[in-house]
Amino acid sequence: MTQTPEVFGPTVDDHTRRVHYATELDIIAISFACCNRYFPCHLCHSETAGHPAQQWSRERWNQPAILCGMCWTELTIETYKSVDECPECAATFNPRCAAHSDLYFDGQ
């Protein structure tokens, strides 16, 4: 059995919704390149990680770094950026997350 990754930072439910963004569509967590730990958002990382965030370089977008908070499937950055919903459970992702994409992923 695969172990569910731990999500760090202040979540508000079991689907990785956070205190900063908690709509029905806010269901992903992102593994930060600097520490390989999942956080619900850049603000959660900033408040609790104790170090500056680093972006995922374009050549590393093939690594799992996105966690669906509905089914706990890990997605590569490439997959996440190419879909509007989880390929495993069909949960819809928040399209407004793209506005913060440059905080997580280099080479936009």
| Per-residue pLDDT in tens (0 to 9) along the chain, 108 residues | 567 889 998 877 888 877 777 778 889 999 999 999 999 999 999 999 999 999 999 999 999 999 999 999 999 999 999 999 999 999 999 999 888 899 999 975
In the chain, the number of structural domains is 1
Q: Is residue 11 part of a domain?
A: no
Q: Which of 100, 108, 93 is nearest to 46 (CA)?
A: 100
Q: Is residue 59 part of a domain?
A: yes
Q: Is residue 17 part of a domain?
A: no
Q: Is residue 48 part of a domain?
A: yes
Q: Is residue 12 part of a domain?
A: no
Going 100 to 45 to 10 to 19, the CA torsion angle's sign is negative
Using a cut of 0.85, tell me whether the model's pTM lies above it.
yes
Q: Which domain holds residue 99?
A: 28-104
Q: Is residue 18 part of a domain?
A: no
Residue 52 has a CB neighbour count (10 Å cut-off) of: 9
Per DSSP (E only), the strands in 9-89 are: 28-31, 38-39, 64-68, 74-76
